[in-house]
Amino acid sequence: MSSPATPELSPAVRESTLARFAEHRRAWDANPALRACYARWYQLLCSALPPRELGAWVELGSGPGFAAEFIPEMILTDIVQAPWHARRAAAEALPFADGEIGALVLFDVLHHVAAPVRFFAEAVRVLRPGGRVLLVEPYISPLSRVIYGRFHPEGVDMSVDPLVTPPVAHEEKDPFLSNQALPTLLFCRKHVRRFLAMFPQLAVSRVERFAGLAYPATGGLSRRPLLPLGLWKALFALESILPEFVFRLFGFRLFVIVERR
């Protein structure tokens, strides 16, 4: 199968996206608590990467490029190419040959992808058997639904069908527009059965909720930290010893491994 053509974006959309990357790099440099969170989450990702010999590790939607700090071998890409990205790549039209890739890493990206079904069809095509899609995404728990809904600039819409592709003109879509509910709907609700029926070549081997209030307390990429660093570190350490079921109620993050059979 040949890869579909990478969709075009308007110059205005490209410019505003690059400005967001720069903003996020500044926020990251200024926020040690946020960097500590990401370091732990990239550790989680790293531990699930398949052997490098299987095929390249490619990050989609690398944005500000934080992954380079934690996984130097990763090939960084984004739908809007910045100087630190190896190439431009849209999740729905991957510029790779069939069976060429070992891992596709999406860190806070799936919920921005306009057509998730097209992305997974592309993942089936480019991943070598034994390859993996690794996702770190927002999780919508009873607590995070309130906090994300009230304080996060991105939307939470639990009413959509994650397996239906809306008609979207890529050149008009802001790559930062999102529905934070999408990964929860897809992997933690009844839709997962439909997903597996649609993609029999894929298996969902891990769905893990994690990260409690320590995450929003960092302020994320758009706000100031809510706690002094010492107190924040104590909260972060406490959360790291809590069992997973706690995060079903209070979690903010989801880690998913999807395997190519």
Ligand X SMILES: C[S@@+](CC[C@H](N)C(=O)[O-])C[C@H]1O[C@@H](n2cnc3c(N)ncnc32)[C@H](O)[C@@H]1O
Are 183 and 254 in contact, with CB atoms under 8 Å apart? yes
Query: Per rule CB under 6 A, is residue 90 in the interface with ligand X?
Result: yes
3-state secondary structure 68-107: HHHCCCCEEEECCCCCCCCEECECCECCCCCCCEEEEEEE
If we measure between CA atoms, which residue out of 86, 55, 89, 57 comes closest to residue 73? 57
H or E element at residue 146: helix 142-151
CA gap 181, 140 in Å, rounded: 6
Measure CA of the first residue to CA of the last residue in the chain; give whole Å. Answer: 18
**Contact with ligand X (CB under 6 A) among 78, 122, 137, 239:** 78
Shortest Å distance, C-beta 31 to ligand X: 12
**Contact with ligand X (CB under 6 A) among 9, 17, 94, 255:** 17
Query: Per rule CB under 6 A, is residue 64 in the interface with ligand X?
Result: yes
Shortest Å distance, C-beta 11 to ligand X: 15
**Contact with ligand X (CB under 6 A) among 33, 50, 54, 61:** 61
Angle (CA) 47-52-57 rounded to 5° is 80
Residue written as token pair 């299987």: 54
Query: Per rule CB under 6 A, is residue 91 in the interface with ligand X?
Result: yes
Could you tell me which stretch among 44-52, 84-92, 193-201, 204-212 binds ligand X (CB under 6 A)? 84-92
Binding-site string for ligand X from residue 172 to residue 211, where x marks contact by CB under 6 A and - marks none: ---x------------------------------------
In 3-state terms, what secondary structure has residue 155?
strand
Query: Per rule CB under 6 A, is residue 137 in the interface with ligand X?
Result: no
- Restricting to residues 105-124, which ones interact with ligand X according to CB under 6 A? 107-109, 112-113
Query: Per rule CB under 6 A, is residue 60 in the interface with ligand X?
Result: yes
Could you tell me which stretch among 74-82, 200-208, 224-232, 238-246 binds ligand X (CB under 6 A)? 74-82
Whichever of 137 and 239 has its CB closer to ligand X, that residue is: 137
Number of chain positions touching ligand X (CB under 6 A): 19
**Contact with ligand X (CB under 6 A) among 9, 13, 42, 63:** 63
Going by their DSSP bridges, the two strands 202-210 and 253-260 should be labelled as antiparallel
Cβ-Cβ contacts under 8 Å for 113 (sequence gap 6 or more): 61, 91, 92, 106, 119
Shortest Å distance, C-beta 193 to ligand X: 25
Query: Per rule CB under 6 A, is residue 66 in the interface with ligand X?
Result: yes
Q: CA dihedral defined by 158, 77, 225, 234, rounded to 10 degrees?
A: 90
- In the complex, which residues of this chain contact ligand X (CB under 6 A)? 17, 60-64, 66, 78-80, 90-92, 107-109, 112-113, 175
